[in-house]
Structure 1
Amino acid sequence: MPSAAPHDRLPLAFGGDYNPEQWPQEVWEEDVRLMREAGVTMVSLGIFAWSRIEPRPGAYDFEWLDRIIGMLHEAGIGVDLATPTVVPPAWFYRAHPRALPVTREGVRLAFGSRGAICHSDPDYRAAAAEITSHLASRYGTHPAVVLWHVHNEYGAPVLACYCDTCAAAFRVWLQDRYGTLDALNQAWGTAFWGQLYGDWEEIGVPRTTPTVGNPAQELDFQRFADGQARANFVAERDILHRLSPGVPVTTNFMVAPSQCSSIDYWAWAREVDLVTNDHYLITDGRRAHVNLALAADLTRSVAGGAPWLLLEHATSGVNWQPHNPAKEPGRMARDSLGHVARGSEGAMFFQWRQSRSGAEKFHSSMLPHGGTGTRVWREVVELGRRVGELSGLRGTRTRADVAMVWSWESWWAQNLDWRPSRDLDARERLDSFYEALYDRHLTVDFFPPDGLADLDPARYPLLVVPQLYSAPASVAAGLERYVSRGGTLLVSFFSGIVDEHDAVHPGAYPGALRDVLGLTVEEFDPLLPGEAVTVRTTEGEVLRADVWSEYVVPGDGCETLAVFTEGRTASRPALTRRALGDGAAWYLATRLTGADLGAVVDLVLADAGVRGVDLPRDVELVVREGESDEYWFAVNHTDAEVKVTLPDGSRVAVGAGAVEVVRAAR
């Protein structure tokens, strides 16, 4: 492992993906000059350059790479040097066509895009190790190389492959996981529909079947596919550690839950030296800045609270959504500094110079087609100046107020076929609960289900479980300990239902969470599309709910705080609270959104003794703490100037769409 913490080696990063191989060499000198003008401190280099580095099998061309790395180093710009293993060259696929992935339907995908990789293919693995070794041998001790960047956005656009090579590797993975066929048959519940296996060779990957296949097999295959890609990352990482000691190794995550859903980032975070993330605004009419905050909080949490790095975002519009509006003036800085507020050690973009050709030629960049006379360029230069002024915050940590639980594995399981309602969506519940906390100006730390055993209620007085369909039995002990020590727990419906094999926990719903919540659920009653019900609290407030209801039976010591007032579950509890030790466990048995969900969140926050900051809607106040200093980020997403009261009681004016950063002694 590197001898120094990643943030001790890196500058506060400002820059982006640089693809000089797309341009004649006379452009490079202009690029480096303009990078210096913009305050660029680091660029990501060589991500898609395998065919340029190795134009023919075993024939390497490093002259161009030597030159550009030398130019960047002379200009004082660090290099995040990539292993270009996301796109092997055309000659590789011609020689090794079985390295191309196969779909569930048996179609082998073609070369001509990116990320077309069977992660089990031995020829790909050997070639990836070879190119990585050559790069590390040549540049492993180069003073310009401050970070290694393995591959690119694992899981985008495809992760799983259903070829025969993967089927054989899957069988080996299953033997390592279960040991015996009896254990596998038990875990997968193969007695159902007569699926018992009598020989390992009978097991394949979950290709297209006449109707729904075995959900436990599907879930294990998702784990396997994620693990195969992670093993390839680790193989490259270990080569880099050996040949380039002391230089941290990363790969760029995409933790916003709508992106790269096939990756378990809790597991991946344990393998990287520095957590990095790519984030792009989803312009579908929702409040995109809330998703940005969620993504940044979740990335920081995946990093264990340590500083991380925003490795890609956009200066303006992207080009891969149905509609790609430009960012309004000031939005670029607001987005960038919003990530920094929530723990990033800088702000990087895709990409430096806008491409003239290829699939992303309309994707915005730091240096647009229009050049240095554009608004985007002027904003880039100004942002570079501001990021440079924040170098003192390196190593500080963002302070959170409350905690939430999120599990990619549970999301995989819940998204399998034949659930009680097709409208169930764990990501939607995550977004909704996060938005409710965001609107109360609370910063959130996230935890995996297996990370709750030592959660301190004094540090996190509220823990929200927005939806945890798949919960190992061990989760219950951590939650009970948290509540009994004084924590306030809020659990939403369809949580605790199945174990890690997608088997329903013995006894009544909600399975693993039944005891801590002090109730049982006799039966689910999903609502039909367009159907809604009302919920009335004991204080007389009427809330509107949809998607879900259920027959809740509270146990001893579990009080009902709201009931369904209509529909098939009329008079049944919709919101309950159970006192346990020094804390309390709340349960919400239906889907509320917007102000209705906010009303319940307010009740629970009051019970937990948590008060949000008094700020206007869409204004953030986020704190980064160091040993001697704090940085207060006031972020204004509105179109009017606001006055923000800072932690020391002073007030600062924040212009429309602007960000103010105040440094204060602790």
Structure 2
Amino acid sequence: ADGVALGHGSRQHICINNPVFRDRAERIANALAAAVGNDPRVLAWQLDNEFRSHVGGCHCETCRDLWAAWLAERYQEVELLNEAWHSAVWSETYQNFAQVPLPGPTPFLHNTSLVNDFRQFSQQCINRFAHEQADIIRAHSNHPVTHNSGLGFDLDNADLFGALDFSSFDAYPSADNHSAFLMNLDYFPHLANGRTVLMETSPSHGGSVRNYGVPHPRGFVEAEAFANYASGSAGFLFWHFRQHRGGSEQAHGSVISAWGQPTIGYSSAEAIGRLLPAVKPLLDCSSTAQPAVAVHYSDHAKGFLATEAGDGAGYRGLISTFHAGLVRAGIQRSLLPVEASLAGFRVLFTPFVHHLSGQDRERILRWVHDGGTWVCGPGTGGRTEHHTWHADSALGGLEDAAGVEPVFQFPATGSGSRGSILGHSAVLSRMSTFFRSRETDSPGAATALGTVAAGPAEGLEFATERRIGAGRMILLGSYPGTGDPDDDGAALGAVVEYACAGVLPPVRTAGGNVADYPRWHNGRLQHWLVNMGGQPGAFTLLRPARKLLGKQDVHAGNGRQAFHPALTLPVGAYTLGAHDYLILEDIKEEHSL
């Protein structure tokens, strides 16, 4: 990103736009696919490895020329680029597209529109390369094509997997940050026709010669595997199998050591070898149940907050904290691209999406009118697609839908701003919009949920609710809390509980350790419960259920247990041990969550 060319000596040191590389990559893909394209030992094709995991856009001469051509195609006339970017600020007006620089070192900061467009250009280039490679393979092979991606990479994952056959991802979470692992399970199954595989994870710990990893506690990897399969993923693969003797990741966990002996990760592989045969019959005769709650996850929003990280908070950290709040509240959820269908969902959260297109806004509002609950914000809608302020509104039309009049927009972090929402007092933080409800006698008027008690916007509102048709829109203009590790998340949790009233699941989990992955079997709802934490976790049954399988059964070699009256669990509170798992099935038939 600093415009300095990187040399040979690591990985990802090539430009995927370079014509010589592109020619050689096409030759290699053609040769490989022609040689083994229909070999029965080939299950699938993986393109490359972790696109953009270390680097973002390239700054070579090839990319400079392609960048100018991309801008010309996007804007047609350079005057339109200047107008959209407000390039007159600090004399950045261009006379032709070739003058527009790559975002290299500058005395201060680049134009936000330039930085965001360059990121979009770079993401489109890598995806075009991936899709071309997939087309080459498909000319010789009927096997599916994927790529192992991740939430932290500089990619547009929704677009990447839109032309691949299934999604796959790599995840190396620490045991004390297990909600980060669950984020992958909530997101990747919703790409590429709903098929996904965990392509890489560590059997014991991650790490490199620069940063040693901390070994996972016993049972954590087995719990990861259980959650992975329960969520709908079709595979769980280790990296490494055999420890690297050389290179930068010699210290990375493996199943077998460099000298051929079992490592501390070997027991995890053995445990999963017992787990999978025990749960496979249950997996084969059941299907994942769609949660009632969805959260928008946007790689474009991640780019906006990489460009504008004014309070030091990146998108991944913010959305991870928001997601962890749902996990703590025991809310089953899906992470969706902004453009994804909302069919079957009843509650939607759209936080930190700086730019929300008018098309997406109107589509979501139609869903609200039909009965959905939309929690919009915080940090949503305040910028145009070019990362500029709106000229005729504060939130790009969201204020009209919400029935409010924005008054102030400013960074609330450190401003002394405090507010009260749903009976909870909280510090207000992040770039915020404060407003007042529009005065009207209409039954569809907005009502205040959160008011500012102190700070520059004292007396205004930061959260409102408005009925729209059969549904409701909750506008959240500021983050209720700090999002820091010492924030108990009570205010945000109250918003989650309020929005999700009426769609709470039949199994409630609390504390963030126990996750429930519901599955359908012959009209009955199954609960695949797993404790990802290192301490016992609680869950509450709101309907009686019978036990199908537990971790103790798997380790004892009993496999699937036959139904028996003694295995019926009545309504009540239960405890699940550290890294334990349990499969229950409701006694009563249901047809929806």
- TM (norm. structure 1) is 0.76
User: Relative to 1, partners in 2 of residues 1:113 and 1:434: Cα closer, same or farther, differing over 3 Å?
Assistant: same
Assess if the C-alpha contact under 8 Å between 1:510 and 1:520 holds in 2.
no
Partner of 2:164: 272
Query: Are 1:219 and 1:413, in contact at CA under 8 Å, matched by a contact in 2?
Result: yes
Matched with 2:2 is 104
Contact 1:279/1:312, CA 8 A, preserved across alignment:
yes
Taking a change above 3 Å as real, the CA distance of residues 281 and 646 of structure 1, as seen in their structure-2 partners, is farther
Structure 1 pair 432/528, CA: closer, same or farther in 2 (3 Å)? closer
The question of whether the paired residues in 1 share the 8 Å contact of 2:351 and 2:379 is answered with no
Equivalent residue, structure 1, for 2:201: 313
Identity of aligned residues (%): 23
Q: Is the 8 A contact 2:204 2:254 kept in 1?
A: yes
CA distance in 2 between partners of 1:548 and 1:355 (Å): 45
Alignment of 1:339-354 (within 5 A): 339-354=228-243
| Amino acid corresponding to residue 254 of structure 1 in structure 2 | G
SS in 2 for 1:657: coil
Shift, 1:327, TM fit: 0.5
Distance 2:2 2:260 in 1: 45
Answer yes or no: is the 8 Å Cα contact 1:634–1:644 preserved in 2.
no
The C-alpha deviation readout for 1:360-407, integer Å capped at 9, x for no partner, is: 111111224585555431231221231233334259334322011121
- SS of 2:356's partner is coil
Contact 2:433 2:477 in 1 (8 A): yes
1:634 is matched with 529
Q: Report the Cα distance in structure 1 between the residues aligned to 2:147 and 2:302, rounded to whole angstroms.
A: 22
Q: Which moved more, 1:611-620 or 1:506-515?
A: 611-620
Helix, strand or coil at the partner of 1:434: helix
Alignment of 1:543 with 2:440, yes or no, is: no
- The aligned length equals 545
Distance in structure 1 (CA, Å) of the matches to 2:160 and 2:520: 26
CA distance in 1, matches of 2:364, 2:312: 27
Tell me which moved more, 655-664 or 269-278. 655-664
What amino acid is the match of 1:534? R
2:385 counterpart residue number = 500
Cα pair distance change 1:334/1:507, threshold 3 Å:
same
Quote how far apart the aligned CAs of 1:326 are.
0.5
3-state SS in 2 of match to 1:621 = strand
Structural mapping, 1:98-497, within 5 Å? 104-105=2-3, 107-244=4-141, 246-255=142-151, 259-260=152-153, 262-282=154-174, 287-304=176-193, 306-320=194-208, 322=211, 324-369=213-258, 374-392=263-281, 393=283, 396-417=287-308, 421-451=310-340, 455-456=342-343, 459-497=344-382
Query: Counterpart of 2:448 in structure 1: which amino acid?
Result: T
Secondary structure, counterpart of 1:577 in structure 2:
strand
Structure 2 runs not aligned, ≥5 long: 440-444, 482-488, 547-568
Give the drift of 1:191.
Answer: 3.6
Residues 484, 159 of structure 1: alpha-carbon distance in 2 compared, 3 angstrom cutoff: same
Q: Provide the C-alpha distance between the structure 1 equivalents of 2:412 and 2:248, rounded to a whole number of angstroms.
A: 42
- In structure 2, do the counterparts of structure 1 residues 540 and 104 end up closer, same or farther at CA, with 3 Å as the change threshold? closer
Identify which range, 519-528 or 265-274, moves more after superposition. Answer: 519-528
Per the alignment, residue 80 of structure 1 pairs with none
> Please, which of 385, 395, 399 is the counterpart of residue 514 of structure 1?
399
Pairs within 5 Å for 1:36-47: none
Equivalents in 1 of 2:220, 2:226: separation in Å? 10
Q: Secondary structure at the match of 2:480?
A: coil
Q: Is 1:553 paired with 2:442? A: no
1:417-453 CA distances to partner (integer Å, 9 max, x unpaired)?
A: 4x7x42454333322322222122222223333335x
Paired residue type of 1:408: D
Alpha-carbon distance between aligned partners in 2 of 1:475 and 1:292, rounded to the nearest angstrom: 28
Rounded to whole Å, the distance in 2 between the matches of 1:162 and 1:641 is 50
Q: Label 1:307 to 1:645 Cα distance change in 2 as closer, same or farther (>3 A).
A: farther
Residues 322 and 647 of structure 1, relative CA distance in 2, 3 Å threshold: farther
Query: Out of 467, 488, 497, which is 1:602 matched to?
Result: 497
CA distance in 2, matches of 1:628, 1:369: 50
Does the CA contact (< 8 Å) of 2:424 and 2:491 recur in 1? Answer: no
Query: Which deviations, in whole Å up to 9, do the C-alpha atoms of 1:33-83 show, x marking residues without a partner?
Result: xxxxxxxxxxxxxxxxxxxxxxxxxxxxxxxxxxxxxxxxxxxxxxxxxxx
Letter aligned with residue 403 of structure 2: G
Distance 1:141 1:626, change over 3 A: farther
> Aligned to 2:6, what secondary structure does the other structure show?
coil
Question: Contact 1:250 / 1:276 at 8 angstroms: preserved in 2?
Answer: yes
C-alpha displacement at 1:269, in angstroms? 1.3
Query: Which whole-Å CA distance do the structure 1 matches of 2:44 and 2:579 have between them?
Result: 33
Provide the residue aligned with 1:43 in structure 2: none
1:615 matched to 2:513: no
Judged with a 3 Å threshold, the aligned counterparts in structure 2 of structure 1 residues 370 and 281 are, in CA distance, closer, same or farther, namely: farther
Deviations 1:292-324 (A, max 9, x none): 1112101112345x2310000111111148452
Q: 1:21-41 deviations in whole A, cap 9, x for unaligned?
A: xxxxxxxxxxxxxxxxxxxxx
Classify the secondary structure of the residue corresponding to 2:376.
strand
Please give the alpha-carbon distance, in whole angstroms, between the structure 2 residues aligned to 1:647 and 1:366.
Answer: 41
Contact 2:82–2:93 under 8 Å retained in 1: yes
Residues 82-104 of structure 1: per-residue CA shift (max 9 Å, x gap): xxxxxxxxxxxxxxxxxxxxx53
Instruction: Write the distance in 2 (CA, Å) between the matches of 1:625 and 1:113.
Output: 46
Match of 1:56 in 2: none
* CA displacement at 1:579 relative to structure 2: 1.6
Q: Distance in 1 between matches of 2:146 and 2:524?
A: 28
**Structure 2 counterpart SS, 1:309:** strand
**In 2, are the aligned partners of 1:462 and 1:489 still within 8 Å (CA)?**
yes
Cα 1:391–1:355 change in 2 (3 A) is same
**Residues 563, 574 of structure 1: 8 Å contact kept:** yes
Distance in 2, matches of 1:643 and 1:108, equals 53
Q: What SS does the corresponding residue of 1:332 show, helix, strand or coil? A: helix
Structure 1: segments with no counterpart, 5+ residues: 1-102
Segment of structure 1 superposing worse, 270-279 or 313-322: 313-322
Distance, in Å, in 2 between the alignment partners of 1:346 and 1:212 is: 44
C-alpha change, 1:624 and 1:368, in structure 2 (3 Å) is farther
